[in-house]
Structure 1
Amino acid sequence: MIKSKYRWDMPKADESESAKLAEKLGIDRLTAAVLAERGRASRELAEAFLVADESGLLDPFAMKDMKAAADRISRAVADGEFIRVYGDYDADGVTSTALMTRLLAKLGARYDYYIPHRSREGYGLNVGAIDSAAEAGVKLIVTVDNGISAVQQIAHAASLGIDVVVTDHHEPPETLPEAVALVNPKQKDCPYPFKGLCGAGVVFKLAHAMFGGPVPEFADLAAIGTIADLMPLEGENRIIAKLGLELMRREPVPGIAALAKVSGAKAEELSSGRIAFSLAPRLNAGGRLEHAGIAVKLLLAEEAEEAEEIAAELDRLNVERQELVERTTAEADAMWRAASAFPDGRPRKAIVLAKEGWNAGIAGLVASKLVERYYMPAIVLAWDETTGMCKGSARSIEGFDLFAALTACVDLMDHFGGHQAAAGMTLEAAKVEALGERLHGLAEERISEEDWQPKRRVDLKASIREATLAAIDGLSKLEPFGNGNPTPRVAILGAVAKESRTMGKEGKHLRVTFEQDGRTIEAVAFGMGEERVRLAEGVRYDLLGELNVNEWNGNRKVQMMLKDYRSDHLFVHDRRASGQSWTSAVDQLLAREGIAVGSNAADDSRTAGGEASFALLCATDEAYREAQERYGAHGVPIGLCADVSEPIEGMAGEIAATGEERQGSVRKCRHVALVGLPDDERGKAVLRRWLMSSPDLESATVLAFGESSVSSAPASSSEPGEFPERKHFAEIYSLCRTKVSWLDSPDGFLRESALNTGWPLATVRMMHDVFIELGFIAANGASRKFVANAPKRDLDQSARYRKARDGAAVEPAARGLSALSPEALKGWLEVCHASANR
């Protein structure tokens, strides 16, 4: 079995609801299925989602303190007071800052803006910046994307005669600052129905309030902030993103046009994906490496020439940022591998790393990469040895509320802020170890067993036949895609790999053609070049991915962006007749797993997660003893196919365990080498139980130990076990009647029948041959069709049946596995293992 990387959360919506919705709205089944799966099965909800225009924007005055904020800013404008916009250094912060300055400019205010330096000042309001504002004659500070937790700083501003209006969207603390107005929809007593706005989204609503209606020309920056800050693209955010993308494609301001150009995109083709992966990283680069003011300057630029110069500088900084992230991630990964367990051997359940010399500006990016690699909460901190302080960022996994967990660690930190999935913090270096231990305990307590495997929600199941250009055009109506409204994930079940080839530099990527019911689709798998051997031709897979259109030389063709896959297939490699010694073969197999026989590493067969990926299963005590002597010191799990309760003569300690205990240690391995095959019933029973209890197994390599006798007899006459009775033929006949028609393929209906009944593949094929001979199945080349109302005929009337039955009588049921033909042995191993995955 090839396990999927992710836990697939399959669709739960009623298919009849999807069909009704498709008919009512005149849309295709796939689009309707996605809407229904995402809770929009009614006509009203579906239409509201599809339309998503200005009419769906909410009353801004429903937000707590919105009127107070609008009144105070209006008074400052009327009285000519000097206003300072106090922003943040990430993409949401700079778009919020630029948007607020646009608003103040349109109101005719006296203003400037200020963004703190990430590494020197850190996030949010600080006393030094407030003192500077007082010296400059500022009478009103308007925060954007920060301020909700600045209790002491806002009190200090008040003492200097400066009023503060807070516009923010981060989680409010228990104690709130005493500002003139706190505009944040996440406040407990705020009645505003939509809580998912970003900082720029809150400013967009403030503009709505101050001008008495929506301000569409402000939607571009609000859309960038919404997408860049990973806000859910539903409700008002969907409307803002849709309006903003339409505006940017139609009339981009110079800064956005220049940023798109330097990113290799055309403004008229901007999408939520382009914003997230191309524009946002460049807007962030200034604040990460130098100062975020350069990004604000770009967004406010009025001339194309100036904008292009600034965009080029941001692009240069982004390249530098990418290189720095790569180096820091490698250092962090090495640190984690060395410290992933407590001194007593217990694995840590949360990553907390700090190092002098790291850049705090990229800590969140490095933490994200560690989460992606190890799938556990991660904190990455830059340690300043001169001050003894650490600043950094945290990222979480689904099912673990990071903000709540950090709140439980508040006594260890000087400052922190964020939300469920991401946060930033400052703390003393001396408290880093304690934070790691505290976070480990919280993760162990609050993360369920299933949440340790990443989950991917599947929106719909579809066949290759349904994956058409028209269907993809229909799905595009659900754009813009992003957090909260991801690109629809499609599961195609039971597709057979036909051909594959690697692509790109060093063959890092893969292109595979899959077939289902005579239709094919090409799948592109980025970063999966090394997995070509697992996506083998002729094997049946379940696929998870996203459908899109590949356009080349004016031709449009459907393709799937493959994200994950799985298969019940067991790869069996029978090398008994190779003439190679079993130890030489095992040495080669271990080398493929990165295990060098003769090295000093005692656990080099282990994966990063601590589990072995390769194991040996021996048929005899002699093979077991030799395997232990040669490979035991390398941490390779070694099992024995024997139900013995006495220790092996001459062996002691851990080796002197029962056969059941020995074979149990290798159950979670992906690859196993069978050193010899058991010929006695007890040994076969142990092997069968092991195969049935090893769902993670992908491949089994059969090696000869001692004398090998590989049978060349036809598979149908060499299968172990009893010959099927008439009731078993009736069971297969019933499956054929239900299927009606199919293609004769070993990985198709034949295998499905074998898995459903437990009979070896070759035996099922023999039964089909009997039915063909009796006229119960019509055969035309590879096509098979059940013949309804066929004349009744007895099985004995089939020569194929009589020959197979008589041959089975000659072959004793207890025949040893070592004498089986490669095909028969493969069938036996596959059927036993398939039982583990039913």
Structure 2
Amino acid sequence: MIKSKYRWDLPELDESLVSKLERELQVSRLTAGVLAGRGWTSSEQTKAFLQTDAEQLHDPFVMKGMSDAVRRISDAVKHGERIRVYGDYDADGVTSTALMSRLLIELGASFDTYIPHRSREGYGLNVGAIDLAAEAGVRLLITVDNGISAVEQIAYAASRGIDVVVTDHHEPPDKLPEAVALVNPKQKDCPYPFKGLCGAGVVFKLAHAMLGRPIIEYTDLAAIGTIADLMPLTGENRVIARLGLEQMRRQPIVGIRALAKVCGIKPEDLTSGRIGFSLAPRLNAGGRLDHADSAVKLLQETEEEEAERMALGLDKLNSERQALVEQTVIEADEMWQTQCAAEGGADRKVIVLAKAGWNAGIAGLVASKLVERYYRPAVILASDEETGLCKGSARSIDGFDLYEALTDCADLMEHYGGHQAAAGMTISRENIDLLANRLHELAELRLTAEDWQPKRRADLSVKLSDLTLGAVDQLASLEPFGSGNPTPRVVLQEVRIRESRTMGKEDKHLRVTVEQSGQAMEVVAFGMGEKKEILSAGVVIDLLGELSINEWNGNRKVQMMFQDFRSRHLHVKDRRKEVDVWIELDRIVANLPSGLAIACSSLASFKEAHARFGHMGIAMSLYTDTNIDRFVADSETAAALEATDSVDQFGHWRHLILIGLPSSDQEVRILKRWLAPERGGESVTVFAELGSGSMATASFPAFPERKHFAEIFAMCRKRGAWLDSPDGFLQESAMATGWPLSSVRMMHEVFVELGFIAVAGASRKIVTEPPRRELEQSSRYRKAREYAEGLRISEMTTDELTRWLVACHAG
């Protein structure tokens, strides 16, 4: 059995619904299954989902505060008031700022933009920036992607003669700022039907309201903001993202074209995934390491040459950011390990780390890495020694609402904001331990044991025959993929590995060919090169992964990128023909350094194994649980055996190596105990005993077949009645058939148990009308067959041995 890394969340599909969608939408079972698993039951609604267009956008004036915002901005434009757009330094804030700038240019407004410096000013409105605005003659401040929590700052702006229009999408606090307009669909009494807009999405809706129609050419920046900020790609976000991707592919603005170029992507090949993993990190890089103004200017640029220069600058910053993240993760990991060792931190439910010199701009990325590594919420803070304040970010796991938890800790922080999965905060250095303790208590209270194992949701289980080119191509109709509408993930069940090989630099990646019912397919896993020994030829596994089309030299074929695997089967490797056992064992131990156990059928094998591998802590034993003093002369080897020969001390294993096979009933029983399913187990590798050649030659009596039972029973029927004695009828039957007396007695005992022979003391008599029963219904028969098979284990063929070992492991 191979256990999966993740909990696989696989919905139970209503096959009648799948068939209905398949028929009415004229799609493959694969696409219909994904739709059904995601809750699409109505064909009409599903058609609307598949055929997204601008008609599905909502009326922007339904959003609370929209009319007030339109009125105040229109007045400012009409009277030539100075407007300042106050943005944020992440990709959503950058696209929001650029999109608002585009709108104000179209309106003919007098304006400029301002984005706070991440490390010097932090997130959101600040008093210093408001003073700068007042000195510049600004009369109207429009926030984008921030402002909903800025109660004191907006009150201060009013005192300086500045009106504020807030456009935001973050969770509103209980007390709202007194701005001239608050535009945020998440306000408690806002009737707007879709709550999942990002900051750029809210600006897009404002542009719709200001200009009287949805501005399709504005969907490019709104789509980038939506995807980069991990907003759910459902409802109105799906419309915005889909229209925006079409816009970027067809008519990309100069800045997007330059950014795609440095990413090595053609604009026509842009997808939600390429935006999320290539474009967005570069737009974020300016705000993380320098200033986000550079990203805003890129998105506003109209000259190709200048845009390419700016894009190269962001690309360089992104490379620096990657190196800085890698180094900070190493430092954070060392700090966490030190805490675990010194304070029992391994039991802490939330990672909270702070250090002077860390860059607050990459704190969220570092937190994400630690969440991925340890699967627990993480808070990473950059400490300023002069002010005593720490600024940073947090990331969470499924089931732990980070914003809710931070709200319960609000008294400890100077400022915080965010949502369920991610947040940012400013906190005094002296409150960090208090925050860590309180978050730990909240996580213990709110999370169950199951929540601590990472989960991967799959859409449906498939067979290789389901994965045709047409079916996988059709999944593109569900795009764009992202948060809320993830790339379809499937479980491929019970496939056998035909071939496994590593690939890439330092053999880090794995390419496996699997087969099922005569069909074969390549599956690939990044970063799983070390799993080659586990995923070797012959293993029957389930795979969890995403489907794609691999195109090479004009050829197209279906491929799976798998992320996890499991097997309910014990993989048996018969190496009894191996010429040099120890060379092969050295290789196995080198490639499978953990979870190994070695069982030996002779003392010579044990001594050699102990000499080679004893220092590595590998469990080793003879097939015995008796006192071993009588087997061993020297005390050193005896002590080693004492530590390893107990069945109970053999513990849990992943890979069991058998050097030689049992040759007695007692040894067979011990091996069966080692093979018990509760001991775990992924594979068993069997070698012949040293010096015995390729296969053992011991001869044991074969177990009687059905015809032999029939022959003995015919003799019983003919005799009718007899006395049960070894030198009487039993001996005659043994001599007549050639079976040992013990085998004949066993067959008689089976007949008695099945009710074919009546017993009265030593007398035996055939039952005239015996019941109709099969031999397998006799426990005596089953036990005798199992015993006989065990005694001839070393004679078994590879198939027989595999079946026997797997049956023992199944329990």
Normalised by the size of structure 2, how large is the TM-score?
A: 0.82
Which secondary structure state, in structure 1, belongs to the residue aligned with residue 347 of structure 2?
Answer: coil
In structure 2, the partner of 1:238 is 238
Q: Is residue 698 from structure 1 mapped to residue 682 from structure 2 by the alignment?
A: yes
Shift of 1:284: 0.6
Instruction: Report the more deviating stretch, 371-380 or 308-317.
Output: 371-380
Shift of 1:3: 2.1
Which secondary structure state, in structure 2, belongs to the residue aligned with residue 827 of structure 1?
Answer: helix
In structure 2, the partner of 1:203 is 203
In structure 2, the partner of 1:671 is 655
* Offset from partner CA, 1:130-153 (integer Å, 9 cap, x none): 111111111111111111111221
In structure 1, the partner of 2:125 is 125
- Can you give the 5+ residue segments of structure 2 that lack an aligned partner in the other structure? 710-773, 776-780
* CA–CA separation in structure 1 for the residues paired with 2:388 and 2:597: 47
Distance change in 2, residues 1:15/1:322 (3 Å): same
Matched residue type, 1:413: M
- Indicate the structure (1 or 2) with the bigger Cα radius of gyration: 2
* CA–CA separation in structure 2 for the residues paired with 1:464 and 1:680: 44
Shift of 1:71: 1.5
* Offset from partner CA, 1:17-36 (integer Å, 9 cap, x none): 11111211222222122111
Which secondary structure state, in structure 1, belongs to the residue aligned with residue 380 of structure 2?
Answer: strand
Q: Is residue 40 from structure 1 mapped to residue 40 from structure 2 by the alignment?
A: yes
Instruction: Report the more deviating stretch, 55-64 or 348-357.
Output: 348-357
Which secondary structure state, in structure 2, belongs to the residue aligned with residue 502 of structure 1?
Answer: strand
* CA–CA separation in structure 2 for the residues paired with 1:811 and 1:35: 52
In structure 2, the partner of 1:735 is none
* CA–CA separation in structure 2 for the residues paired with 1:620 and 1:580: 17
In structure 2, the partner of 1:499 is 499
Kindly indicate whether the alpha-carbon contact (under 8 Å) linking 1:718 and 1:821 is maintained by their aligned counterparts in 2. Answer: no
In structure 1, the partner of 2:791 is 815
Distance change in 2, residues 1:646/1:521 (3 Å): closer
Matched residue type, 1:143: T
Kindly indicate whether the alpha-carbon contact (under 8 Å) linking 1:676 and 1:705 is maintained by their aligned counterparts in 2. Answer: yes
Distance change in 2, residues 1:708/1:411 (3 Å): farther
In structure 1, the partner of 2:270 is 270
* Offset from partner CA, 1:286-342 (integer Å, 9 cap, x none): 111100000000001122122111111111111111121222222222333333356
Distance change in 2, residues 1:581/1:35 (3 Å): closer
* CA–CA separation in structure 2 for the residues paired with 1:437 and 1:220: 43
Which secondary structure state, in structure 1, belongs to the residue aligned with residue 696 of structure 2?
Answer: coil
In structure 1, the partner of 2:755 is none
* CA–CA separation in structure 2 for the residues paired with 1:339 and 1:628: 36
* Offset from partner CA, 1:327-367 (integer Å, 9 cap, x none): 22222223333333563575333222222222111111111
Q: Is residue 448 from structure 1 mapped to residue 432 from structure 2 by the alignment?
A: no
Distance change in 2, residues 1:624/1:694 (3 Å): farther
Shift of 1:384: 2.3
Kindly indicate whether the alpha-carbon contact (under 8 Å) linking 1:719 and 1:824 is maintained by their aligned counterparts in 2. Answer: no
Distance change in 2, residues 1:639/1:195 (3 Å): farther
Kindly indicate whether the alpha-carbon contact (under 8 Å) linking 2:533 and 2:591 is maintained by their aligned counterparts in 1. Answer: no
Matched residue type, 2:473: D
Kindly indicate whether the alpha-carbon contact (under 8 Å) linking 2:621 and 2:645 is maintained by their aligned counterparts in 1. Answer: no
* CA–CA separation in structure 2 for the residues paired with 1:719 and 1:692: 27
Distance change in 2, residues 1:573/1:30 (3 Å): closer
* Offset from partner CA, 1:652-689 (integer Å, 9 cap, x none): 9xx999967534xx33x433456886666666556535
| Counterparts of residues 365-404 of structure 1 (less than 5 Å) | 365-404=365-404
Shift of 1:566: 2.0
* Offset from partner CA, 1:721-748 (integer Å, 9 cap, x none): x77879x9xxxxxxxxxxxxxxxxxxxx
* Offset from partner CA, 1:410-459 (integer Å, 9 cap, x none): 23322211111111112223333333333233223322222222222221
Kindly indicate whether the alpha-carbon contact (under 8 Å) linking 2:620 and 2:644 is maintained by their aligned counterparts in 1. Answer: no
Normalised by the size of structure 1, how large is the TM-score?
A: 0.79
In structure 1, the partner of 2:554 is 554
Instruction: Report the more deviating stretch, 99-108 or 511-520.
Output: 511-520
In structure 1, the partner of 2:180 is 180
In structure 1, the partner of 2:249 is 249
Distance change in 2, residues 1:344/1:284 (3 Å): closer
| Counterparts of residues 680-829 of structure 1 (less than 5 Å) | 684-685=668-669, 687-694=671-678, 696-701=680-685, 712=696, 812=788, 815=791, 824-829=800-805
* CA–CA separation in structure 2 for the residues paired with 1:433 and 1:647: 56
Matched residue type, 1:256: I
Distance change in 2, residues 1:57/1:134 (3 Å): same
* CA–CA separation in structure 2 for the residues paired with 1:408 and 1:590: 50
* CA–CA separation in structure 1 for the residues paired with 2:497 and 2:48: 40
Which secondary structure state, in structure 2, belongs to the residue aligned with residue 544 of structure 1?
Answer: strand
* Offset from partner CA, 1:113-145 (integer Å, 9 cap, x none): 100001111111111111111111111111111
| Counterparts of residues 556-635 of structure 1 (less than 5 Å) | 556-573=556-573, 591-592=590-591, 613-615=595-597
* Offset from partner CA, 1:205-236 (integer Å, 9 cap, x none): 11112222211111010000000111111000
* CA–CA separation in structure 1 for the residues paired with 2:25 and 2:263: 38
Shift of 1:173: 2.0
* CA–CA separation in structure 1 for the residues paired with 2:796 and 2:409: 62
Which secondary structure state, in structure 2, belongs to the residue aligned with residue 414 of structure 1?
Answer: strand
* CA–CA separation in structure 2 for the residues paired with 1:147 and 1:723: 85
Q: Is residue 831 from structure 1 mapped to residue 807 from structure 2 by the alignment?
A: yes
* CA–CA separation in structure 1 for the residues paired with 2:90 and 2:675: 52
- Can you give the 5+ residue segments of structure 1 that lack an aligned partner in the other structure? 595-604, 606-612, 729-794, 797-804
Distance change in 2, residues 1:676/1:7 (3 Å): same
Which secondary structure state, in structure 2, belongs to the residue aligned with residue 358 of structure 1?
Answer: coil
| Counterparts of residues 143-182 of structure 1 (less than 5 Å) | 143-182=143-182
Distance change in 2, residues 1:695/1:241 (3 Å): farther
Kindly indicate whether the alpha-carbon contact (under 8 Å) linking 1:403 and 1:423 is maintained by their aligned counterparts in 2. Answer: yes
Which secondary structure state, in structure 2, belongs to the residue aligned with residue 394 of structure 1?
Answer: strand
* CA–CA separation in structure 2 for the residues paired with 1:77 and 1:10: 54
Shift of 1:705: 9.3
Which secondary structure state, in structure 1, belongs to the residue aligned with residue 791 of structure 2?
Answer: coil
| Counterparts of residues 164-563 of structure 1 (less than 5 Å) | 164-340=164-340, 343-344=343-344, 347-563=347-563
* CA–CA separation in structure 2 for the residues paired with 1:464 and 1:630: 44
* CA–CA separation in structure 2 for the residues paired with 1:438 and 1:166: 32
Shift of 1:630: 11
In structure 2, the partner of 1:111 is 111
Kindly indicate whether the alpha-carbon contact (under 8 Å) linking 1:618 and 1:639 is maintained by their aligned counterparts in 2. Answer: yes
In structure 1, the partner of 2:649 is 662
* Offset from partner CA, 1:574-624 (integer Å, 9 cap, x none): 678879899x99887665455xxxxxxxxxx7xxxxxxx445678999999
In structure 2, the partner of 1:77 is 77
* CA–CA separation in structure 1 for the residues paired with 2:480 and 2:5: 27
Matched residue type, 1:688: K
Distance change in 2, residues 1:159/1:676 (3 Å): farther
Shift of 1:821: 7.0
* CA–CA separation in structure 2 for the residues paired with 1:152 and 1:320: 36
Distance change in 2, residues 1:585/1:432 (3 Å): farther
* CA–CA separation in structure 1 for the residues paired with 2:264 and 2:417: 35
Kindly indicate whether the alpha-carbon contact (under 8 Å) linking 1:85 and 1:144 is maintained by their aligned counterparts in 2. Answer: yes
Kindly indicate whether the alpha-carbon contact (under 8 Å) linking 2:364 and 2:392 is maintained by their aligned counterparts in 1. Answer: yes
Which secondary structure state, in structure 2, belongs to the residue aligned with residue 694 of structure 1?
Answer: helix
Distance change in 2, residues 1:586/1:437 (3 Å): farther
Kindly indicate whether the alpha-carbon contact (under 8 Å) linking 2:119 and 2:360 is maintained by their aligned counterparts in 1. Answer: yes
- Alignment RMSD, CA only? 3.8
Matched residue type, 2:308: E
Which secondary structure state, in structure 1, belongs to the residue aligned with residue 313 of structure 2?
Answer: helix
* CA–CA separation in structure 2 for the residues paired with 1:545 and 1:146: 37
* CA–CA separation in structure 1 for the residues paired with 2:608 and 2:511: 43
Kindly indicate whether the alpha-carbon contact (under 8 Å) linking 2:658 and 2:684 is maintained by their aligned counterparts in 1. Answer: yes
Kindly indicate whether the alpha-carbon contact (under 8 Å) linking 2:677 and 2:810 is maintained by their aligned counterparts in 1. Answer: no
